[in-house]
Amino acid sequence: MVGVKPATIELDFAALLESDSQGLSQYIVGGRAYFEANLFGYQTASFTTKGFFDQEGYVEPMKTLVQQTISE
């Protein structure tokens, strides 16, 4: 393949967290930020990839059980 090069996507999680905390966005849900990337080039209509960036050190909150009382 002609012109194949590795690429990286840099994400500033701190900026996303700050924006979310100010109520300006909702980028990070459950410690993850979803992304989609498009590549355009010579003789390439488009190439799309998608995935998640995980927040380092994120710990999922403990689930609380709700007990339901059944009365007869």
pLDDT confidence band for 1 (50 / 70 / 90): very low
Map out the domains of the chain as residue ranges: 13-54
DSSP per-residue string spanning the chain: -TT---------HHHHHHHHHTTS---EETTEEEEEEEEEETTEEEEEEEEEEEPTT--PPPPPP-------
pLDDT confidence band for 3 (50 / 70 / 90): low
For residue range 11-47, list pLDDT tens digits in order.
788 898 899 989 999 888 888 888 887 777 777 767 6
* 3's tokens: 């012109």
Task: Please tell me whether the overall predicted TM-score, pTM, comes out greater than 0.75 for this model.
Answer: no
